[in-house]
Chain A
Amino acid sequence: MKEIATIAIFGLLAALLPLLIGENPYLTGLLITILMMASLSSAWNILGGFAGQYSFGHAAYFGAGAYTTMILLSRFTVNPLLTVLAGIGVACMIALLTGTIVFRLRGHYFALASIAVAEIVRLSVLNFEFTGGAQGILLADVTLWGVDLNSKNPFYYGMLVVLLCTLFLTAYLKRSKTGYYLQAIREDQDAAASLGIDIARYKNRALLMSAALTSVTGSLYALYIRFIDTSAVLDLRLSIEIILTAIIGGVGTLWGAVLGALLLVPLAEMLRSNVLGDLLVKGGFIPETSTLGLFLKENLAHAHVLVYGIITVLCILYLPKGILGLFRRRK
């Protein structure tokens, strides 16, 4: 009950935020990305945090949503919301296929297979023609119920709704039979099986929930950006960012993904727009004309994946339970 109330208050505050910041496309865009990463990592957490099954290929489900929406909208005049549903269908089919193949197996196999499936999806999209291949798909404009969706606010609220749904689902799962069963599977599969838990079935259930929510986020992203290609929505890098966001905040916690997104997305943005490099130079820490200064100015914008790598390593070595894990009562 307390958690439900906290989510509701968070939702309310987040809903009021655009009124506070007014017309600021840059900041709204950043907030949309934060909400998106928070939803993606929360959805990933249903499978990774509860069931302990780390998917390293969640980009496949994000891409399934994004591509289904874009392919349908670029060919037919349909309600965008219907394309979101179609995306869920496609993502669930991929999830069921993956789950059926690997959830009988244990250990490293799911991690490996999740990457293989994601790569199959990525390469297929790249090689087929109806998916736009390497060029990607561009959409001129999107209308919903006659309203042109070219402002950012509708997507801010769209992403917020998805995030809130994911958080409510997580809070509900924590107190439900399914959630307890998933946690039992995470802790000890033999014990879980001996207590009557159909392991493959419950893992599949978690994967389906996770994939469906991830796909909705993907569809929304596509409608928001209106241009997608494989490097934007199907790359292994995205899968890793999703995990990293969850890990930094704390895997298996309700708010970990939100916290992780609040930290990582602005950091990545600062690196990308070279704010950090400018700060170091302008703050007088590094002379602008020195070799290092020139090098940083030149390269820091491309270094955000490198920084992600460093954060991943440090996080696993020094903070494996994430920031929220530090405050948890357990063990």
Chain B
Amino acid sequence: MMFLQSLLSGILTGGVYALAGIGMSLVFGVMNISNFAHGDLMMLGMYLAYFAFTLLHIDPYLALLLIIPTAFLFGFMMEKIFINRVINHPHQNQILLTIGLGLIMSNTALLAFSSDPKILTTSYSSSAVTPLDGISLSLPLLFSFAITCLITAILYLFLSKSSTGMALRATSQNREAAQLMGINVAKMSAIAFGIGTSLAATAGALIAPTYYIHPLAGHSFLLKAFTICVLGGLGSVVGAAVGGLIIGVVESMASTYISSDWKDVVVFVLFLAVLLLRPEGLFGKKGGQ
């Protein structure tokens, strides 16, 4: 029973992680940039959901309809103003730039919202369903998981069917060739970063009802998102989705059978193990650079 409980709640949390991981992987694939501000973008999503709820009295899940376009625009602008200027720089400069932007976001949030953690309490925050005796699944997490599946499905359709989606995938496959074929690579980068940002913010908003909202909360999600991307193969969207679920389950199992203090350590050790044993990831191309 304990195993099943742990497995199921791991999958539910993992779904939300997957969303963040997919966002990061998409940015990595299209732009070949490791976005170290990704966790802080998640944090912004958490606060957006929080303020939509406390100030505008909008249900956090409904607020996604506002958060997704806002975050897309934010990410799109961020790429246009900052990121595209380092797109041909050495990758360490790209990392440092996104670290700098992340520090600005988190510390501005610290000044604006103070370091007191906020809690988003909805009428159903502590509700749970018990499909089986001894198994209890948090209702907000179930909602979040359902929305994650919906968004992932929409994204998948968008990437495989729409012309913009195909252009994004072409850019991800081979930037130079895509450019030669007349794809506006610069625009694709901004779109990818916008989508990545809105996925991060969505993930943030989805965990907001079950998590402490804090200016530095993004920090721990950042490394998780990286672990997910590397596990799934850097740049692979499907890989990131599966990677997210794996990380969610590993974390949940570690909490149950070791201790919740050590769950992050277990995740990071898994990250190193993947680098050691299968650096191209579970779904990546062999010989990934």
Contacts and interface: CB of A to CB of B under 8 A. Distances in A.
Given A108-B95, A243-B96, A309 B103 contact: yes
A117 B272 contact: yes
A111 B95 contact: yes
Contacts of B82: 313, 317
Nearest to A318: B85
A240 B91 contact: no
Given A113-B275, A302-B110, A316-B96, A108 B104 contact: no
A320 B94 CA distance: 11
A273 interface: no
A309 B34 CA distance: 17
Contact of A120 (B100, B226, B268): B268
Nearest to B105: A309
Contact of B107 (A117, A124, A303): A303
Contacts of A120: 265, 268-269, 272
B279 A312 contact: no
B86 interface: yes
Contacts of A240: 99, 103
A330 interface: no
A17 interface: no
Given A54-B95, A112-B226, A243-B96, A123 B265 contact: yes
B269 to A, nearest CB: 6
A151 B216 CA distance: 36
B272 A111 contact: no
Nearest to B234: A108
Contact of A312 (B96, B226, B262): B96
Nearest to A56: B95
Contact of B264 (A123, A299, A305): A123
A247 B96 contact: yes
B221 to A, nearest CB: 12
Nearest to A101: B276
B272 A101 contact: yes
Nearest to B93: A316
Nearest to A123: B265
B199 interface: no
Contacts of A315: 100
Given A101-B276, A116-B223, A310-B100, A111 B107 contact: no
B92 interface: yes
B128 to A, nearest CB: 29
B232 interface: no
Nearest to B277: A101
Interface string A90-116: 000000000001101111110111011
Contacts, number: 118
Nearest to A186: B90
A11 to B, nearest CB: 31
Interface string A123-149: 110110000000000000000000000
A278 interface: no
B108 interface: yes
A269 interface: no
A107 B289 CA distance: 6
B230 interface: yes
Contacts of B92: 48, 52, 54, 111
A308 interface: yes
A119 interface: yes
Given A108-B34, A116-B223, A309-B107, A101 B95 contact: no
B101 interface: yes
Contacts of A303: 107, 111
A5 interface: no
B100 A109 contact: no
Nearest to B270: A116
B161 interface: no
A13 interface: no
Contacts of B279: 104-105, 109
A236 interface: yes
Contacts of A109: 230, 275, 279
Nearest to B85: A317
B29 to A, nearest CB: 13
B97 A317 contact: yes
Interface in B254-289: 259, 261-262, 264-265, 268-269, 271-272, 275-276, 279, 289
A302 B108 CA distance: 10
B209 interface: no
A15 to B, nearest CB: 34
Nearest to A247: B96
Q: Which 9 residue pairs of A and B lie closest in terms of their CB atoms, listed nearest first?
A: A309-B103, A312-B100, A306-B107, A313-B100, A309-B104, A54-B92, A316-B97, A116-B268, A127-B261
10 contacts: A105-B279, A108-B91, A109-B275, A119-B223, A120-B268, A123-B262, A308-B103, A309-B103, A309-B107, A313-B101
